[in-house]
């Protein structure tokens, strides 16, 4: 299998390695095919970094996704991990089956806001309430990127499509919902916030239970805004040489760095503004009610609150609830899986 990186590269130049002796390259994936500047790419970068720094064994990781630009990204990180690109909105079920089969694997699921909050809302809901140990990331851009810019259910009221269509429906807050549903680790971040993203991802890797992270991840191609000097319409009007259909503007990654307890106004590629607000350092993430209240308050102020809202490290996981064997099911020998001849005889006698 061809890979963009491989272990032998360590031979040529000595490199820094992590606690299990692997260098950063071992955590990279194929070259991305997403638009330059797409928030999803920044998230892949953070994932690579976090898994490397935490010294996670990539062979023990499975990458899972649904369908969408976001769902393509598992190909672009952790090239030495098995991956499963499922069908649209149904990644949670694939993850559930795989992790029940082998509980020693570390599952990292990547979904989009369409993949999660529309077609996949049913599976999302049940994944949250089952507390299946895995990391579930929503790369949230408020639109359907891959099908070219329709509204998703996380789009804010009043946001406008390229076609001029205005969203009139209230946005689903996946974090508030996840808390409500019993998720045991709920966080939100911004794809450009390297520091916060890394911290949250590392905490998620360490969490024993389901870790749900909604990452605001701007779509540079379809998150358009009329009147913006960097909008699709504006650039198109001012550049006659562009191939209209295939045109994708090139943007630099947006990065932010701001202190806990403060807010930050970020101007996005399309000229729109995102008012990020970070939970203060002394915020205690163990109170569900307060967490939801905080989210509601921020929502009313028009701010996007970020940070780890809620953690319950002691909740029973799906594995606990099912009394699942400590040995991964796939590693149990045939003797443990097929009852003896005597058992069949006993059952047959019982049925006579």
Quick one: tokens of 273? 């503004």
Q: Strand 273-278 vs strand 143-144: parallel, antiparallel, or unpaired?
A: unpaired
CB of 125 to ligand TPP, least distance (A): 16
Q: From residue 12 to residue 51, what is the string marking binding to Mg ion with x (rule CB under 5 A)?
A: ----------------------------------------
CA 159 from centre of chain: 23
| 249 contacts 175 by C-beta, under 8 angstroms | no
Candidates 109, 112, 133, 149; binder of Mg ion (CB under 5 A) is 112
Contact pattern for ligand TPP over residues 258 through 297, marking x by CB under 6 A: ----------------------------------------
Name the segment binding ligand SF4 (CB under 6 A); options: 31-39, 45-53, 304-312, 343-351. Answer: 31-39
Residue 141 in contact with Mg ion, rule: CB under 5 A:
yes
Helices 121-130 and 91-101 pack at an angle, to 10 degrees, of 30
Phi, psi of 69 (to 5 degrees): -60, -45
Q: How far is the CB of 137 from Mg ion (least distance, A)?
A: 12
Using the contact rule CB under 8 A, the part of the chain among 98-106, 185-193, 205-213, 284-292 near another protein is: 98-106
Q: Which stretch binds ligand SF4 (CB under 6 A): 7-15, 30-38, 48-56, 282-290?
A: 30-38
Binding at 62: pick from Mg ion, ligand TPP, ligand SF4, none (beta carbon under 5-8 Å per type): none
147 binds, among ligand TPP, ligand SF4, Mg ion, none (CB under 5 to 8 A by kind): ligand TPP
In the bound state with ligand SF4, the residue whose beta carbon lies nearer, of 193 and 270, is: 270
Stretch in the footprint of another protein (CB under 8 A) among 77-85, 196-204, 220-228, 294-302: 77-85
Q: CA–CA separation, 192 vs 40, rounded Å?
A: 10
What is the longest distance spanned by two Cα atoms in the chain?
85
Q: For the residues of 169-220, what is the DSSP string, one character each?
A: SPPP-HHHHHHHHT-SEEEEEETT-HHHHHHHHHHHHH-SSEEEEEEE---T
Say whether residue 113 binds Mg ion (CB under 5 A): yes
Residue 195 C-beta-side C-alpha neighbours within 13 Å = 6
12, two tokens:
């040529």
Q: How far apart are CA 14 and CA 27, in angstroms?
A: 16
- Give the residue among 96, 57, 317, 56 at the shortest CA–CA distance from 205: 56
The site for another protein (CB under 8 A) is made up of 1-2, 6-7, 57-60, 62, 64, 74-75, 79-87, 90, 92-102, 104-105, 122-123, 125-126, 322-326, 328-330, 332, 334, 336-339, 341, 343-344, 347-348, 350-352
């Amino acid at each position: 299998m061809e890979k963009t990186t491989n272990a032998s590269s360590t031979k040529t130049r000595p490199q820094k390695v992590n606690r299990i002796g692997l260098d950063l390259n071992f955590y990279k994936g194929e070259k991305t095919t997403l638009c330059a500047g797409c928030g999803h790419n920044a998230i892949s970068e953070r994932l690579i970094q976090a898994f490397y720094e935490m010294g996670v064994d990539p062979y023990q990781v499975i990458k899972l996704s649904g369908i969408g630009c976001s769902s393509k990204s598992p190909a672009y990180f952790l090239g030495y991990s098995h991956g499963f690109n499922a069908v649209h909105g149904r990644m949670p079920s694939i993850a559930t089956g795989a992790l029940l089969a082998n509980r020693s694997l570390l599952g990292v699921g990547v979904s989009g806001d369409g993949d999660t909050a529309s077609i996949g809302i049913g599976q999302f809901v049940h994944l949250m309430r089952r507390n299946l140990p895995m990391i579930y990331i929503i790369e949230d851009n408020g639109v359907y990127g891959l099908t070219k810019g329709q509204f998703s259910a996380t789009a804010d009221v009043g946001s406008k499509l390229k076609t001029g269509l205005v969203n009139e429906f209230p946005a689903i807050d996946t974090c508030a919902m996840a808390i409500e549903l019993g998720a045991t680790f709920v966080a939100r971040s911004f794809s450009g916030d390297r520091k916060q993203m890394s911290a949250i991802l590392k905490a998620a890797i360490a969490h024993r239970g389901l870790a749900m992270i909604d990452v605001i991840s701007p779509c540079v191609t379809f998150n358009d805004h009329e009147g913006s000097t960097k909008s699709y319409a504006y650039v198109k009007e001012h550049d006659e040489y562009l191939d209209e259909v295939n045109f994708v503007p090139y943007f630099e990654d947006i990065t932010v760095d701001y202190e806990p307890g403060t807010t930050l106004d970020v101007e996005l590629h399309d000229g729109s503004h995102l008012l990020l607000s970070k939970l203060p350092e002394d915020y205690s993430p163990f109170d569900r009610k307060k967490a939801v209240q905080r989210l509601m308050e921020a929502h009313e102020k028009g701010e996007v609150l970020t940070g780890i809202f809620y953690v319950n490290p002691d909740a029973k996981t799906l594995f606990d609830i099912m009394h699942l064997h400590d040995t991964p099911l796939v590693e149990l020998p045939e003797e443990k899986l097929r009852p003896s001849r005597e058992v069949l005889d006993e059952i047959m006698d019982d049925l006579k």
